[in-house]
Structure 1
Amino acid sequence: MLYQAYQFQDDLIAPLRDLARRLQVFSATAFWGPAGDMARHFSAALEMISRFEITHERPDFAISSIMIGNRDVPITVETVLDMPFGKLLRFAADVDTPRPRILVVAPLSGHFATLLRGTVQTLLRDHDVYITDWANARDVPLSAGRFGIDDYMDYVIRFLEEIGPGGHVLAVCQPCVQVLAAVAVMSEERHPATPRTMTLMAGPIDPRESPTEVNELAVSKSLAWFENSLISGVPWRYSGRGRRVYPGFLQLVAFMAMNMQRHQDAHRKLYDHLAKGETVEAGKIKSFYDEYFAVLDLTEEFYLETIDRVFQKAELATGTFTHHGRKVDPGQIRNTALLTVEGGRDDICALGQTSAAHDLCRSLRPHLKRHHLQANVGHYGVFNGRRWEGEIYPVVRNMILAME
């Protein structure tokens, strides 16, 4: 009944949001005057009410062009492969010179792949970029079957096959485990599409290292508790009706609770900017929260398997990880160069959790391994923002270039 209760509450609030939007239009031309101080405060309050909403639709990537060299190059987003639980998208640049092909594996952790918009924009300067566009589980019919960790790996392998031999892969956060395991499987099978490089960024390869609040929560409760407390059925109005999911709104609440004061301060600043007519400053905050409040649901099996296999049992780090019943051995990776990236102030995936991949990839020669520790960045800063663009990305680019 958890999802139904949330949906009922959202349905009750929806008319209030709609009224606020209508009044906001009226307030712009009300008797206070279009530039009046009272009008701006009233309009700001109405906008804050209208924004009290969680959306479940993927925002647009909004990448129409990118500067390559001194030329503004048009970008077209293409669907290369469309599968029930996710699509493979390509950001096709209008250039004649072939560029290294890289698959960005986005997290399946409550937000859409558009959260990596900044990551993609930076990579597009020098690469032919593809990304995993995971589906919202509430929109996937039950007839499509289950989707667990093994299925996630199948998708990664299938996407790499579609990109073809000689590609590269970059995983952000949660999928670092599945990507490392998928590359190990491909390496053991001598798969022609095994990537040349594998970049793992801020992912829980060994969550037992310097456990964070997120790690401790995952091991503090039994798997039954997570199933009974956090899993709910999709309401009948959606295509995935009856599918049991971990709702994205719960993940959003959990993330916000970790830094509630920061989010409260951000919304106070938003109100102040709106009330003062500072549209540029307000727009930056609104853009971030438009993305942050767009959530997707995870299938029950994927969420519970992640809690069980990745966090509670740390199967990859302990050598017990399997793929469809077959043991996965990262020691089979011999030709895929490994780069791990960690943030010095990451409070979600702490120091040592991602670099643990180096010990697991024991067959890689030293010149095929590199670790980058970025000081003074948190989790989000590892793959987005000034430090990512100016200090982390050059390391990623050079690793790829060296293996081309």
Structure 2
Amino acid sequence: MLYAFHELAYQSALPFRIGAQMARQFWTSPFNPASDTAIGRTAYASAELFESVTRRYGKPAWKLDTIDIGGKPVRTTEQVIWQSPWCRLIRFARNIGDLKRAKKPAAGPAVLIVAPLSGHYATLLRGTVEAFLQDHDVYVTDWINARQVPVLEGRFDFFDYIDHVRTMLAEVGGRPHVVGVCQPGPPVLAAAAVMAEAEDENRPASMTFMGSPIDARLSPTVTNQLAEEKPFTWFRSNMIHTVPLPYPGFGRRVYPGFVQLYSFMSMNEDRHRDAHWSYFNSLIAGDGDGVEKHEEFYDEYLSVLDLTEEFYLQTIDIVFQQHLLPRGLLEHRGRKVDLTRITDIGLMTVEGEKDDISGVGQTQAAHGLCSNIPDDRRVLYVQPKVGHYGVFNGRRFRDEIYPRVRDFIAQNEALIGVPQRSAAAA
């Protein structure tokens, strides 16, 4: 019933939102002599703030039609390479002529960026994708909101996620490089192990994990502690709700995005309250930069999607409660996932010193688990002074993290086809 009540509350606020929009137009009208007074600016700011916090935030656009590479504008074309009811594989094809003017090679190593399926849309990685487009042929997983998928399309669970990663690597072709940001770490690592054991010709040449809960037992955060303290039945009873009409996924059981958003915001309630107070003051003062910065962040942050019941609950169980992958107990389609079978796939882990979602140590645990990767194909990096978001976005990511990942990918690109000895053999 919670989902239905949520929709009812949203629809009930519609008259007030319309009123706020009318007030906003009235107090910004050039024909209103009071528009530039303290009262007028305060009234406008109040209406704008109310409208922004009660708005329905849909899926954001990628806004990567033109990017800057080497100081030159380079056009990109968004291409859907493959899709299922649950995901679209998007390629951002760079214009060859523009690349030549930017003095960049027309081709670069193929990189599949696996975006989190944890409440936000893949566009949260806009800055990540833009950075990788500087030097690579970039593909990204664009996950579909579960409430938009009809019940007749069936289930989507943790193991389907692994299969999707395998399929998309094959669609990219060759031996691409894979980058898992946050949540995808465990299923992407499992997919790499399954492909390595099968000697799949499309197994990744390298894998980079950023702020991922590979072993959530290490440096537990508030998120990890909640997952361990609550029994599994609590998550099933309190976090799963039924999609109401008029959504295409009517009747599907999901973990709603708005529930996860509330959970995230409640963890940093003071920070979000202060941000909106600063936004209100920026509106009054006419501080365009402050307003734009706030809206750019929250337009993305408040856009959320639903997860299927089975995927969410299996992730809680497999990753955060039983820790099956680091304990060597995970099975996929009846076969044990053996991380020691990975021998010719480079491994890089990136963590943030102040990460309060995936604590330091959780991601780098992959190095100990993948014991047969040669030492010269490993990079373990902890970025000082950044939290979870800063691991894959922002100034320090662009200036300090991305160059290291770029060099790591280039090193492993050069080794494709070169016979490798495992660490054990060495």
TM range (shorter): over 0.9
Amino acid at match of 1:82: Q
The answer (yes or no) to whether the contact 2:115–2:141 under 8 Å persists in 1 is: yes
Q: Does 1:381 align with 2:381?
A: no
Pairing 1:142–2:143 present: no
Distance 1:61 1:112 in 2: 10
Aligned to 1:124: 133
1:44 aligns with 2:48: no
**Structure 2 contact 59–303 (Cα < 8 Å) conserved:** yes
Partner residue, 1:216:
225
Deviations 1:123-153 (A, max 9, x none): 1111111100000000000111100000011
Q: CA deviation at 1:37?
A: 2.5
Matched-pair contact (CA < 8 Å) for 1:244–1:300? yes
* Contact 2:241-2:253 within 8 A present in 1 as well: yes
8 Å CA contact retained: 2:75, 2:95: yes
1:95 and 1:80 mapped to 2: Cα distance? 19
Aligned residue number for residue 20 of structure 1: 20
Corresponding residue number in structure 1 for 2:36: 35
- Amino acid in the other structure paired with 1:374: Q
Asked if residue 354 in structure 1 is aligned to residue 330 in structure 2, the reply is no
Match of 1:395 among 376, 379, 404: 404
1:333 is aligned, of 329, 333, 342, to: 342
Instruction: Give TM-score, length-normalised by structure 1.
Output: 0.98
Contact 1:54 1:249 in 2 (8 A): no
Are the equivalent residues in 2 in contact too, given 1:56–1:294 (CA < 8 A)?
A: yes
> What letter is aligned with 1:78?
Q
TM-score (norm 2): 0.93
* 1:259-283 Cα deviation digits (max 9, x unpaired): 1101001000000000111122101
> How far apart in 2 are the matches of 1:79 and 1:17?
36
Q: 1:390 Cα deviation (Å)?
A: 0.6
- Residues 348-386 of structure 1 show CA distances to partners (whole Å, capped at 9, x for unaligned) of 100110000001111111111110011110000000011
Taking the aligned partners of 2:168 and 2:19, their CA distance within structure 1 comes to 45
1:296 aligned partner: 305
- Once the two structures are superposed, the pairs formed by residues 224-303 of structure 1 within 5 Å of their partners are 224-303=233-312
Whether the 8 Å CA contact 2:352–2:383 is kept in 1: the answer is yes
Asked whether the 8 Å contact 1:54–1:295 carries over to 2, the reply is: no
User: By how many angstroms is 1:39 displaced?
Assistant: 1.5
Following superposition, the deviation at residue 18 of structure 1 comes to 2.0
Asked if 1:310 corresponds to 2:319, the answer is: yes
The letter of the residue matching 2:61 is D
- Counterparts of 1:56 and 1:68, CA distance in 2: 30
Distance 1:295 1:86 in 2: 15
Answer yes or no: is the 8 Å Cα contact 2:377–2:412 preserved in 1.
no
1:56, 1:32 → 2: CA distance? 33
Q: Is the 8 A contact 2:26 2:32 kept in 1?
A: no
Root-mean-square deviation (CA, aligned residues, Å) is 1.1
The answer to whether structure 1 residue 92 and structure 2 residue 93 are counterparts is: yes
Structure 2: which 5+ residue stretches go unaligned? 98-105, 414-426
Aligned-residue offset at 1:54 = 5.7
Which 5+ residue runs of structure 1 have no aligned equivalent?
Answer: none
Q: Which residue of 1 aligns with 2:60?
A: 59
1:75 maps onto 2:76 in alignment? yes
Q: 1:55 to 1:154 in 2, by over 3 A?
A: farther
Q: Deviations over 1:228-279 (max 9, x none)?
A: 1110000021000000000000100111111110100100000000011112
Counterpart Cα distance in 1 of 2:24 and 2:54: 16
Please give the alpha-carbon distance, in whole angstroms, between the structure 2 residues aligned to 1:267 and 1:14: 21
Displacement of 1:56: 5.5
SS in 2 for 1:315: coil
**Alignment of structure 1 residues 121-200 onto 2, 5 Å:** 121-200=130-209
Matched position secondary structure for 1:350: coil
Q: Give yes or no for contact 1:32–1:39 (8 Å, CA) kept in 2.
A: no
Aligned to 1:7: 7
- Structure 1 position 71, deviation (Å): 2.2
> What do the CA deviations read for 1:44-72 (whole angstroms, capped 9, x no partner)?
10000111236353100111212222421
The superposition leaves residues 192-235 of structure 1 with CA deviations (integer Å, 9 ceiling, x where unpaired) of 11111100011001000011100000011111111111100000
